Amino acid sequence: MNYQNTLAYAQEQDQNDPLYHFRERFHYPQVNKQDAIYLCGNSLGLQPKSAQMYIDNEMYKWANFAVEGHFKGEEPWYNYHELLAPGAARVVGAKEKEVVIMNQLTVNLHLMLVSFYRPESKRFKIITEGGAFPSDQYALETQTKFHGYNPDEAIIELFPREGERTLRTEDILQSIQEHGEELALVMMGGINYYTGQVFDMAAITKAGHAAGALVGFDLAHAAGNIPLHLHDWDVDFAVWCTYKYLNSGPGGTAGVYVHERFANDSTLPRFAGWWGHDADERFKMEKGFKPMEGAPGWQLSNGQILTMSVHRAALELVEQAGGMEALRTKSEKLTGYLEYLIDDVPVGEEVLEMITPRDPQARGSQISILVKQNSRMLFDKLMEAGIIVDYREPNVIRIAPTPLYNSFEEVYRFSEILHECLEGVVVK
């Protein structure tokens, strides 16, 4: 696109944006008694205004039906999770029986590792990206220890080449091939939380399977951010949270994908719970776990109805906006405009370095900048000026223009304020 560093250009883009009116459907935090410019959807999405109504519906049922709310009304709690499956399946590119909304992300990751990390004497290693989000690191570390292995020997971390900021796909595939005979699992983020790099999940899955390993992804930063095609890519399993790009509230519910090839595999090891048992026989209260078909068979407890109701509101917004393809179309333009404006800042790479890939297909709705002078001071100045972004140690600021509620004018305003804040930060 032929971007322009002018307010008039930004406002023209907003006028032509078919998703612009969705801004009205969210609440915005206040800074200095004004709406903040919120560019932090990669940490916590804004609250949909409709969320309150959905919560109130369930509070009404709780007040008026109490325990009978599990079975009474048009949307009984007993199978409330089924209401979320169609929308969730479309977000991640799966069949409905391959997804279930439950628990939280790291709980779900551990449940998946119980089933899909099955180390043997020779084939016991896991490949992951170096510097993965700590929850993933801790989960893999403790799972390998649980099976009696030394994490330093069992976990292969992949890092960028010297002098580079992101992983090359060919290096990932080569490592999978090199360790093939020892490899039990490839487990990576779909998008790296720090750099914003999108990994080639289709190619990684194909290579992992060719090596005889299973392949899974943590989609915390990918679900609701980029179009996904988990079933078509033949991914074995995936997990994600819903409080970032899916705007479903702090500590909100989470999701699981399990490929349909495992749908009726009752021999697959798993940690079972009552809610994963065959629904037709659940109230017989008998011994002998019989899993439901597909991903719902990994459920443990009855659904978190209040947080699920918020997620339902958020999924409906995605649908009303035209789905992930429509969001991605705007996201690429919005993030591209942010990239253009950052490049136009009159400082060199000795001050600001973009560590997110330049290729639009290799990134989501996030740009991470490495701040080489007074990074914390710059972050604090931005926040004081009403720009809510995200800081990651030791010196990275992450900026996430989110297509459902961010505008081109907000990105332009961010650039203006960044210019102003840098004046008191850069050492000349």
Q: 99 and 167 share a domain?
A: yes
Q: Which range, of 168-177, 221-230, 243-252, 279-288, averages the lowest pLDDT? A: 279-288
Confidence (pLDDT) at 204:
98
105 burial via Cβ count (<10 Å: 0-12, 13-18, 19+): buried
Together in a domain, 206 and 256 = yes
142 forms bridges with which residues in the sheet? none
The tokens of 411 are what? 């990105």
Q: Is residue 45 part of a domain?
A: no
pLDDT (tens digit, 9 = 90+) per residue, 54-79? 999 999 999 999 999 999 988 999 99
Within 155-229, where are the H helices? 169-178, 201-210
pLDDT at 425 over 80: no
Are 232 and 334 part of one and the same domain?
Answer: no
pLDDT of residue 347: 84
What pLDDT, on a 0 to 100 scale, did the predictor assign at position 427? Answer: 62
358-373 residue pLDDT tens: 999 999 999 999 999 9
156: helix, strand or coil:
strand
Distance CA 18, CA 22 (A): 9
Tell which of 262, 288, 318 closes a domain.
318
Q: In the listed set 318, 344, 377, which residue is the last one of a domain according to the structure? A: 318
Q: Report which residue type is found at 66.
A: A
The pLDDT of residue 428: 60
Per the domain annotation, does 146 fall within a domain?
yes
Per-residue pLDDT tens digits for 1-35: 799 999 999 999 999 999 999 999 999 999 989 99
214-218 and 237-241: which strand pairing? parallel
Same domain (yes/no): 306, 338: no
Residue 152 shares a structural domain with residue 171: yes
Structure tokens at 124: 């016991």
Q: Are residues 27 and 82 in the same domain?
A: no
Confidence at 102, pLDDT banded by 50, 70, 90: very high
335 with 303, same domain: the answer is: no
Residue 305 shares a structural domain with residue 396 = no
Question: Residue 261: pLDDT above 80?
Answer: yes
Residue-wise DSSP of 346-375:
S--TTTEEE-S-SSGGGB-S-EEEEE-SSH
Residues 182 and 211 in one domain: yes
- What is the DSSP secondary-structure string of 18-70? TTGGGGGGB---EETTEE-EE-BTTT-PPPBTTHHHHHHHHHHHHHHHGGGGG
Task: Provide the domain count of the chain.
Answer: 2
Upstream peptide bond of 394 is cis (omega within 30 degrees of 0): yes
**296 lies in the same domain as 342:** no
CATH code, 389: 3.90.1150.10
- Is the separation of the CB atoms in 335 and 399 below 8 Å? no
Q: 290 lies in which domain range?
A: 54-318
Output the pLDDT for position 58.
Answer: 97
Cβ atoms 367, 40 nearer than 8 A: no
Tokens of 142: 């403790």
* Shared-domain flag, residues 226 and 84: yes
Average pLDDT rounded to a whole number, residues 142-171: 97
